[in-house]
Amino acid sequence: MTNADNYCIIIPVYTYIYDKGTVTILIRNNFSVAKRSILYVLITLLVIAVIILLAYGFMIWAMHTSNLYVLATEGMELRAGCIVTNGSVVELAEHFSQDFIDNDDALYDGKYKEFTVSAYDYRLTVESVSVMPWSNKASMKVVERMASMTGTANDESEENSARTALPPYVTARYKIEFKKTDGRWYISGLKLIEENPEQEQLPTPDMSLYKEPTPTPEMSAEAANG
């Protein structure tokens, strides 16, 4: 009888412990599944946020690069035109900061004041651009050259025969500096890196060399009168 009583007592106790352990295991498993699910959702959201941020940053970078390229090519050609034709610097205000215009010696040295340039073919090669999506400053490495330039001396008398040749427009590599002011980019600096740099020979003909020279106002007026 004692053995039977012990047996009866042991069975319920054993069953109770087993059921409690099963519940504990199930609770732990459910908690682990929930924790992994939450972690997976958080990682997924983080990855999506990073992708969106990178895509946005790349879009802003591409927009800045495009704007800077147009600003540099148009602005530097206008600057070259002012230099060789002794033109007004007022039109440069759309591309250059006022401080740059006031302190650019090449605009005021009068290198071509004794000549009338009738046409020129200006080239600007962009080598690299450095800009960050969140930055208000940028830089660009370029090479500028004058492929051709035609003109005559204002005084072709014998006394000035030695000065009738157009001064050369020096080919040079520059670092252009940009600054964003009131939401707009402007060329704020121009640093000379080297003059007459060696340029790689193109494996195929450069069709851009066949670009029509830029006529000066004097040349355009003569064509209209003709």
Residues 6+ apart with CB under 8 A from 57: 133
E strand or H helix that includes residue 20: helix 2-85
pLDDT by position in tens, the chain (length 226): 444 444 444 444 444 444 555 555 556 666 677 778 888 888 999 999 999 999 888 898 999 999 999 999 999 999 999 999 988 999 999 999 999 999 999 999 989 998 999 999 999 999 999 999 889 999 999 999 999 999 888 876 555 555 678 899 999 999 999 999 999 999 999 999 999 988 665 455 455 555 555 666 655 555 555 5
Cα–Cα distance, 43 to 110 (Å, whole number): 65
Residues 6+ apart with CB under 8 A from 79: 92, 95, 96, 104, 106, 107
Residues 6+ apart with CB under 8 A from 2: none
Most distant CA atoms of the chain, gap in Å:
146
Write down the pLDDT at residue 112. Answer: 92
Write down the pLDDT at residue 4. Answer: 47
Domains of the chain: 70-199 (3.10.450)
- Per the CB < 8 A criterion, the answer to whether 181 and 99 are in contact is no
Cα–Cα distance, 223 to 221 (Å, whole number): 5
Q: Which amino acid is at 194?
A: E
Write down the pLDDT at residue 56. Answer: 87
The CA–CA distances, whole Å, from 152 to 9, 115, 196, 211 equal 123, 6, 25, 22
Write down the pLDDT at residue 18. Answer: 45
